Structure 1
Amino acid sequence: MYNYKLSLEYAQQQDQEDPLNSYRSQFHLPKDNLGNPLIYMTGNSLGLQPKTTKTAVNQELEDWANLGVEGHFEAKNPWLPYHEFLTESMAHVVGAKPIEVIVMNTLTANLHFMMVSFYQPTKERYKILIESDAFPSDKYAVESQLRHHGYDDKDGVVLWKPRPGEDLLRYEDLETILEEQGDQIALIMIGGINYYTGQFFDLKRITNLGHKSGCKVGFDCAHGAGNVALNLHDSGADFAVWCTYKYLNAGPGSLAGCFVHERHANNKALNRFTGWWSHNKKTRFNMRGEFDQLPGAEGWQLSNPPILSMAAIKASLDIFSKVGIENLVNKSKKLTAYFEYLLKQLGDDTISIITPSNPDERGCQLSIQVKNADKVLHDKLTKTGVISDWREPDVIRCAPVPLYNSFEDVYRLVEKLKGILNE
């Protein structure tokens, strides 16, 4: 698809021709002790800080200092409806309608709140299906939900596993599980992109399979939001959750996002935990009236939101709105394919990439296995000025994020790796 070349000059030329190249300068790049930029490849763990974030947060601090409680109405960005300033741009990032999206809480908290509504176990149908190597917090959450409802947390979990000797999951095996156990499974809860392999699942295909078997379907899109075109509305999923501190660059531990499909928007019969921020905005401050639930994803809110965190999210989403998720995905595919091309020049006897080779089945992350290597290799790579991510037992995860990583970044990374291997 691309006619890549093996030279620094080629990489630099690609950066010059990249229509998104200017966005790199809008982020703070980590530097070494001499002030040289490090090669940062861990946006899949914590995204870099936009330079506009400090201004956005300081605006709220100034309004708090100058206005006190009146900031809820008189701040430059009034606090009372602040979450609404994020809705439309976040909906576009994840491919949803505004009524389907809300920014609230944190990732695993949102997952629990969604399972309160969409995990509806019965004596015959109580199991939860997850991928065998799901992110640990997802596994812990579903196990605790099973215990909460009085079920065994091992018997109640159904694992979708790779075949022996393989790393990636096959849809045929999911189909077999549902044919054999579908009438016992209440909920399918899959990571939209697997954190370890980088495999991007076909959300619509999984949803259709789950619904056909009578299961509710949800996704943890922590590694997908801001990275790939999730198209959550079109997927038909019942719900999805994601964080904002990875590809969405909103800061460590920042608030998370939540999607609830619009077909559930006005279903007040759905069990849920509620709070005053899920109550009708027009009567919320009457204080003594009966609960009147908001429609859509807003109806799952509990408390008034932390404005300082939302200010950081807003600063980042403003960048996404200017760039467009479609343009980001286009660059990501080209940049990641270039990274893959360079790694393959090291030889199949040295490097194995467990992430799918099909660009439509991955985001920007490549999970790399270096044969006969251990964490010592990763430590050496770190000392050369590369910030990457080691995952046991033998994977280095690297994510060239299209907003701030360059073709030169991936070229220099592979050159450093080659130098270590040739020692």
Structure 2
Amino acid sequence: MSNYKLGLDYALALDQNDTLRAYRNRFYIPKDKNGKDLIYMTGNSLGLQPKSTKILVQQELDDWANLGVEGHFEAKNPWLNYHEYLTDNMAQIVGAKPIEVVVMNTLTTNLHLMMVSFYQPTKSRYKILIESDAFPSDKYAVESQLRHHGFDDKEGLVLWKPRVNEELLHCDDLETILNEQGDEIALILIGAVNYYTGQFFDLKRITQLGHKHSCKVGFDCAHGAGNVTLNLHDSGADFAVWCTYKYLNSGPGSLAGCFVHERHAYKKDLNRFTGWWSHNKETRFKMRDAFDQLPGAEGWQLSNPPILSLAAIKASLDIFAEVDMEQLTKKSEKLTGYFEFLLKTLGEDTIKIITPSAPNERGCQLSIQVKNADKLLHNKLAKMGVVTDWREPDVIRCAPTPFYNSFEDVYKLVETLKSILDE
């Protein structure tokens, strides 16, 4: 913290020495009515559009126009295998082996498909453990799974809660829950990075604790993929899911990612829902053949994917292929550390940062509470060209992302916030 300095000149110097600064020009930066760049801090909700996206999507539109159905085989990027063009890059981003990763469906759909396989309740072991403040969609999904299997969706839900007067979770408390109720818990599902606080959990420790008590363990990495070093394979998790429209910059509602650990890759008897895209590729079009399960994460696919969405994802992943996660997280730590330093100059009696201060316990997001502030503060920031994310009851989430946010962005955000507070 003490290495950072005040003043715009310092922010500009940091940008000048930033080896990734040129990547900002690879994205469209939203502008205000006067054509001035907005300070965009919501890559944790929707990542910005790579300039290459139009080119890649247009390629598929052109091939569709010119080739029709033959585009499945004759397109520049044949559609039949299009999802495979994304696998290696996606596996690198989330720290997995290619056989463990597939791009398909949307996040909550994938979550349900994973629970078909990895939530196998019995009369004595049927509970599902989640964060008490999990992302609502995850909570709704697990409650519906409990109901689907005939259990009470309140009694069957185990909540990992913060301690009194705290916002963050402690792994020791999770261990206590498992020591007390572990033999009743069938599944642990945790957001790898909590959407509200920005806390990044120790995935490996959580997995080890869960497996010690014979629980299956999965992670929702919506706020982790492209943001932090997940190392999903090494974590030992049974499965993970994530969206691609936040830090992976693939466009609103785009397809999602799915990880299934390789130890499950060849378990053809593992319960699952299936479709023709999880069938053996060699015989997929021999319509009357009996079902033949694909190995690995691909074996959880259902349908042929929407190519235009895959093209948008490819545009972003091609950029990620140029910069590894180590480089990205190195800049991210510096960018967010600088942000934290500047916020603290406003005074702890005014600003409270609820995100962990330790770099290994967070990604780029800082969640801040401003004393006596409500959504009017968020609205004022928006009017002054700062795009942040408001979450009830009193948190502003800001995520300076390393591909397209600058140190100058961070400096101007804090100066804008200060000017509003000084009114």
TM-score, normalisation: structure 2:
1.00
The one-letter code of the counterpart of 1:192 is A
> How does 1:268-307 map onto structure 2 within 5 Å?
268-307=268-307
Distance in 1 of aligned mates of 2:129 and 2:208: 15
The one-letter code of the counterpart of 1:147 is R
Distance in 1 of aligned mates of 2:121 and 2:262: 22
Deviation at 1:382, TM superposition (A): 1.0
Structure 2: stretches of 5+ with no match in the other structure: none
Distance in 1 of aligned mates of 2:40 and 2:345: 22
Distance in 2 of aligned mates of 1:413 and 1:374: 18
Distance in 2 of aligned mates of 1:130 and 1:253: 24
Once the two structures are superposed, residues 155-199 of structure 1 have per-residue CA deviations (whole angstroms, 9 ceiling, x without a partner) of 000000001100000011101100000000000000000000000
SS of 2:128 mapped into structure 1: strand
> How does 1:143-182 map onto structure 2 within 5 Å?
143-182=143-182
Distance in 2 of aligned mates of 1:262 and 1:39: 41
Question: 1:227: which partner in 2?
Answer: 227
The one-letter code of the counterpart of 2:202 is D
The one-letter code of the counterpart of 1:293 is Q
Deviation at 1:302, TM superposition (A): 0.5
The one-letter code of the counterpart of 2:412 is R
Once the two structures are superposed, residues 241-291 of structure 1 have per-residue CA deviations (whole angstroms, 9 ceiling, x without a partner) of 000000000000000000000000000111000000000000111110100
Distance in 1 of aligned mates of 2:233 and 2:45: 26
Distance in 2 of aligned mates of 1:34 and 1:373: 29
SS of 2:155 mapped into structure 1: coil
> How does 1:235-250 map onto structure 2 within 5 Å?
235-250=235-250
SS of 2:390 mapped into structure 1: strand
Once the two structures are superposed, residues 90-116 of structure 1 have per-residue CA deviations (whole angstroms, 9 ceiling, x without a partner) of 000000000000000000000000000
TM-score, normalisation: structure 1:
1.00
Distance in 1 of aligned mates of 2:2 and 2:23: 23
Distance in 2 of aligned mates of 1:364 and 1:39: 15
Question: 1:258: which partner in 2?
Answer: 258
> How does 1:84-233 map onto structure 2 within 5 Å?
84-233=84-233
> How does 1:340-379 map onto structure 2 within 5 Å?
340-379=340-379
Distance in 2 of aligned mates of 1:202 and 1:385: 36
Distance in 2 of aligned mates of 1:143 and 1:292: 32
Question: 2:30: which partner in 1?
Answer: 30
Question: 1:64: which partner in 2?
Answer: 64
Distance in 1 of aligned mates of 2:297 and 2:63: 28
Deviation at 1:324, TM superposition (A): 1.1
Distance in 1 of aligned mates of 2:394 and 2:20: 33
Distance in 1 of aligned mates of 2:146 and 2:2: 48
SS of 1:174 mapped into structure 2: helix
Deviation at 1:378, TM superposition (A): 1.0
The one-letter code of the counterpart of 2:24 is R
The one-letter code of the counterpart of 1:65 is A
Deviation at 1:2, TM superposition (A): 6.1
Question: 1:422: which partner in 2?
Answer: 422
Distance in 2 of aligned mates of 1:375 and 1:86: 39
The one-letter code of the counterpart of 2:409 is D
SS of 2:189 mapped into structure 1: strand
Once the two structures are superposed, residues 285-325 of structure 1 have per-residue CA deviations (whole angstroms, 9 ceiling, x without a partner) of 11101000000000000001100000000000000000111
SS of 2:281 mapped into structure 1: coil
SS of 1:323 mapped into structure 2: coil
